[in-house]
Amino acid sequence: MGSVSLKIGDGTARFKRATICSSALNILMLFSVVTTNLFALYAFTSSPKDGQIHSLIHNHKNISLISEHVSLILKEIDSSQKKLAKMEKELLGYQSIDLSRPNIASELKLFLQHHQLPLGKDSRTGITEMVASVGHSCEKSADLLTQYMTYKLSGPCPDDWSLAQKLILRGCEPLPRRRCFAKSLPKVGLQSFPVSLWKPVSDKTVTWSGLGCKNLNCLISKKLSRECVGCFNLDNPNENQRYIKARGKNDFLIDDVLALGSGGIRIGFDIGGGSGTFAARMAERNVTVITNTLNVDAPYGEFIAARGLFPLYLSLDHRFPFYDNVFDLVHASSGLDVGGQPEKLEFFMFDFDRILRAGGLFWLDNFYCANDEKKSALTRLIERFGYKKLKWVVGEKGETGKSEVYLSAVLQKPVRVS
C-alpha cells in the first residue's frame, strides 16, 4: 500500500486514549451530578418544620436562606462545569498551543498570530480575522514542533522531512508553514509524459535522506507493505501487469471496471496507491487519478511525481481536502486494518462517500480482512451506505499457512436526496 495505513503512527493510540478519556469524563460527570444533588437535598431538607405562625414570621428569612443555598449550589455547578471543560480540553488535547511557554520558536508564534482584516468584517465570508491553521494535536508534540519551527529566516530549511512526517503521524496536521527554502535538487532523468509512466525512475530523481534505503534497488528488495511488494520495480510483471492481468478472482481489470462506469469516469482518488501504478494505468485511459501517500520508509511522493502523476501528501486521519460529490471513482486497497476501532473505519468511510459523486464507483481492491468476523463487520458497514453491488468477491489467500480473507468489490453510490 502507498505507505499510509490507519495502523501507522499514533492514530490508533490517539483513539484509544480518547475512549479512556471519555470514560474518565463520564465518571467525573457522574460525580458532579451526585454532589450537586446532595447539595440540593441538604438545602431543601435542612429547614425544620415548626409551628405554622413561626414559619410565617420566619418565612422571609427562610426564603432568603434557601435562595442563599441555591446560589451556592449554582456557583458549585458552574465551577464544576468549568473544571470539567478544562479537564476535557487537557485530556483531548483541544487546547490552543500555549505560546507563552518557554522555548517556543518565535517563527511559530508569528505564524499563529491572528491577523485582523484591515477593513474589518468581510461581508462575503463573515470573517474578521485570518487564523493560521495547524493541527490541534501539535500541542502534544510541542517540543518536536518547536524543533521543526527553528530555522534561519529566509535561509535553507533543515533537511528534516522525516521530522515533519513524524509530526503528521502524531496528528500534528496540518503543519505550520515555514519561511525557509526547502532543499531543491536537480531532478535528473525526468521523462516526458506518457513515457514517464513506465520508465524506471532514476535514483537521482528522489531524495534519500532520512530513509533506510539509499537507492531503488534497495527498496525493490524490501517488502514495504502489503500493497508494495517490489512496487518500485516497474520492470516487474507483478507491478506492470497489475490491473490489466488478474492474478486471482479478487483482481478486477481496469477496463472492466471503467465499463461499469459507462464512460463517466474521468477523475479518481486512490488511497494506498503504492508507487502510483493504479494512477498510471488510469492515465493511459485519460482518467486523472490523485494518489494519496505519505513517505513511510520509501520516497513514494517523489517517485509518483517522477512518473508524471499526482501524489497527495496527507495522512488518512485527515479529512480529505476535496469538496463533496466530486470524484467519479475512489479506489482503496487493503492495509486499512483499523485494529478493532469500528468508529475509525466509519468516519473514514463516510468521508469516502462524501467525496464520491452519485453514480460514481467505489472500488475496494483486495481489502484485507484479518478474519471472517472483520469481513462481516465490514460488509454490514458497506451495506449501510446503500451502494449498488456491481461486483463482490470474497477470496481467501493462504500463502503463509493461515488463510486470510480478502474482499474486492465495485460499488455504485446511490442518489440521496434530503
Ligand X SMILES: *[C@@H]1O[C@H](CO)[C@@H](O)[C@H](O)[C@H]1NC(C)=O
Of 287, 294, 252, 288, which is closest to residue 273 (Cα–Cα)? 294
Write out the DSSP string of 177-245: P--SBPP----TTPPPTTGGGTSPPPGGGS--TTSS-SSHHHHHTSB-SSS-BSTT-TTSHHHHTTTTS
- Kindly tell me which of 69 and 222 has the beta carbon lying closer to ligand X: 69
Separation between Cα atoms, residue 24 and residue 90, nearest integer Å: 12
Contact 215, 362 (CB under 8 A): no
Q: What is the largest CA-CA distance in the chain?
A: 103
CA atoms 87, 90, 93, 97: torsion sign: positive
The least CB distance from residue 287 to ligand X, in Å, is 9
Q: Provide the 8-state DSSP code for 327.
A: E
Considering the complex, state which of residue 61 and residue 121 has its C-beta at the smaller distance from ligand X: 61
Tell the smallest beta-carbon distance from residue 265 to ligand X (Å).
Answer: 11
**Is 386 buried (19+), middle (13-18) or exposed (0-12) by CB count in 10 A?**
exposed
Minimum CB distance to ligand X smaller for 35 or for 55: 55
Nearer to ligand X, 58 or 187 (CB): 58
Least Cβ distance, residue 62 to ligand X (angstroms):
4
- Name the residue nearer to ligand X (CB basis): 30 or 57: 57
- Considering the complex, state which of residue 230 and residue 261 has its C-beta at the smaller distance from ligand X: 261
Q: Which long-range contacts (CB under 8 A, 24 or more apart) does 392-401 make?
A: 393/249, 393/250, 395/248, 395/249, 395/250, 397/248
In the Cβ-directed half-sphere of 217, how many Cα atoms lie within 13 Å?
0
In the complex, residue closest to ligand X by CB:
55
Closest distance between ligand X and the C-beta of residue 197, in Å? 13
Task: State in angstroms the smallest separation of the CB of 48 from ligand X.
Answer: 6
Three-class SS state of 150: coil
With 0-12 CB in 10 A as exposed, 13-18 as middle and 19+ as buried, what is 377?
middle
Tell me whether residue 52 or residue 116 sits nearer to ligand X (CB atom): 52
By beta-carbon proximity to ligand X, the closer residue of 283 and 316 is 283
Angle at 152 between CA 148 and CA 156, to 5 degrees: 85
**321, 316, 356: which is closest to 335 by C-alpha?**
316
Q: How far is the CB of 256 from ligand X (least distance, A)?
A: 15
Kindly state the smallest distance separating residue 67's Cβ from ligand X, in Å.
12
Q: Which residues bind ligand X (CB under 6 A)?
A: 47-48, 50, 54-55, 58, 61-62, 65, 285-286
> In the complex with ligand X, which residue's Cβ is closer, 51 or 186?
51
3-state secondary structure of 369: strand
Coil, helix or strand for 95?
A: coil
CB of 270 to ligand X, least distance (A): 18
Give the nearest distance from C-beta 168 to ligand X in angstroms.
Answer: 35
